[in-house]
Amino acid sequence: MTAGVQGGVGLRAPGWERWLAIGLALLVLLVLLVLPLALVFAEALSRGWAGVASALADPDAQSAIRLTLLVAAITVPVNTLGGLAAAWCIARFRFPGRGLLLTIIELPLTISPVISGLVWVLLFGRNGWFGPALGRADIQIVFALPGLVLATLFVTFPFVLRAILPLMQAQGSAEEQAAITLGAPAWRVFLHVTLPNIRFALLQGVLLCNARAMGEFGAVAVVSGRIRGLTNTMPLHIEATYNDYQAQAAFAVAALLALLALVTLAARAGLEWGTRRER
């Protein structure tokens, strides 16, 4: 794949059909994507910047922001390490059940977020499998930080793996084997050979994982308990303030979250650009 392919040839056949296609595509993007986003910002700013500032300064909002960042800070590294290890196993080794493992890892993508929350309640709720044992040990999992983390882990589970697996499979293991033959220990091979090769794909996966971790609503709603200032994450706080007749404050927090998402997307686009240039 070279830049020339997509740069040059396609351009030489303009004509009204091309512009119609561009127009239609932009219309799709406008109606489906841009307008909802514009609305979030318009509503957030409906009482000016002071309204935004006071909405974000609210102690419950602050606690929601902190909690969301904390949850993301735990889930993203865990799923990154897990995803790396799993991708490495699947790309480099043949073992029975490899296909099954891949299917299982992808399962969370096809599961309703509501179910993703429900499963943890079924496990760790008072009436769940481990509920009585946890109750005796006085460990709170659902309706506390661990539950939020577990639900988010489940939802963002396959993102890193999906981002790096195709690349690792395509690249093959020749370089790694060469390094091993030369006597490098496995972890050094991983650090100096494998990792640099996949770093952009990995970063993309991490960014998407992070965006989803911060924005998850359905799964988190089931396990949060919605205690204000304690277990409300940003998406839950948005819903709560919206229901408090404070639409502007809700949209202000939503705008912040959308902004975080946009930064993520921009970082991703920048990375893609970087990758392309490097090739």
Partner 1 sequence: MQRFVILLAALLALAPAPLAPAWAQDTLLNVSYDPTRELYRAVNDAFAKAYQAESGRRVAIRTSHGGSGAQARAVLDGLEADVVTLAVASDIDAIAAKGLLAKNWATRLPDDSTPFTSTIVLLVRAGNPKQVKDWPDLIRPGIAVITPNPKTSGGARWNYLAALAWAMRQPGATEASGEEFLRKLFANVPVLDTGARGATNTFVQRGMGDVLIAWENEAMLAQQELGPGKFDVVYPSLSIRAEPPVAVVDSVVDKRGSRAAAEAYLRFLYTKPAQEIAARNHYRPRDTEVAARHAAEFPAIPMVGITEFGGWDKAQAAHFADGGVFDRIFAKGR
Partner 2 sequence: MTLAWVGLLVVLPLAALVARPWELGMHGVVASLTQPRVLAALRLSFGMALGAAALNLVLGGLVAWVLVRTRFPGRRLADALVDLPFALPTAVSGIALTTLYAPNGWLGGLAAPFGLSIAYARPGIFIALLFVGLPYMVRAIQPVLHDLPGDVEEAASTLGATHWQIVTRVILPAIAPAAVVGFAMAFARAVGEYGSVIFIAGNMPNRTEIAPLLIVIRLEQLDYAGAAALALAMLALSFLILAALNLLQRRLRRHLA
By the criterion CB under 8 A, which residues form the site for partner 1?
74, 78, 81, 85, 121, 124-128, 131, 135, 138-146, 149-150, 225-231, 240, 242-245, 247
Restricting to residues 25-44, which ones interact with partner 2 according to CB under 8 A? Answer: 25-26, 28-29, 31-37, 39-40, 43
157 binds partner 2 (CB under 8 A): yes
Contacts (CB under 8 A) with partner 2, residues 122-141: 122-123, 127-129
Q: Using CB under 8 A, which of 52, 189, 235, 248 touches partner 2?
A: 235
Can residue 101 be called a binding residue for partner 2 (CB under 8 A)? yes
Selected from 56, 70, 115, 167, the binder of partner 2 by CB under 8 A is 115
Q: Could you tell which of partner 1, partner 2, none binds residue 228, using a CB distance below 5 to 8 A set by kind?
A: partner 1
Spatial CB neighbours of 255, under 8 Å, sequence gap ≥ 6: 40, 41, 44, 45, 52
- ∠ CA 84-267-29 to the nearest 5 degrees? 110
**Which CB, 128 or 261, lies closer to partner 1?**
128
Q: What is the full DSSP assignment across 71-103?
A: HHHHHHHHHHHHHHHHHHHHHH---TTHHHHHH
Segment (H or E) for 204: helix 195-215
Residues 46-85 that bind partner 2 (CB under 8 A): 78, 81-82, 85
Pick the binder of partner 2 from 45, 56, 184, 258 (CB under 8 A).
258
C-alpha 121/C-alpha 275 separation (Å) is 42
216 sits in the region (left: phi over 0; alpha: psi -120 to 50; else beta) called beta
Least distance in Å: CB of 258 to partner 1? 20
Q: Does 195 engage in binding with partner 2 (CB under 8 A)?
A: no
Identify what 114 binds: partner 2, partner 1, none; CB under 5 to 8 Å per kind. Answer: partner 2
Q: Which is nearer to partner 2, 82 or 229 (CB)?
A: 82
Q: What is the DSSP string of 132-199?
A: HHHHHHT---TTSHHHHHHHHHHHTTTHHHHHHHHHHHHH-SHHHHHHHHTT--HHHHIIIIIHHHHH
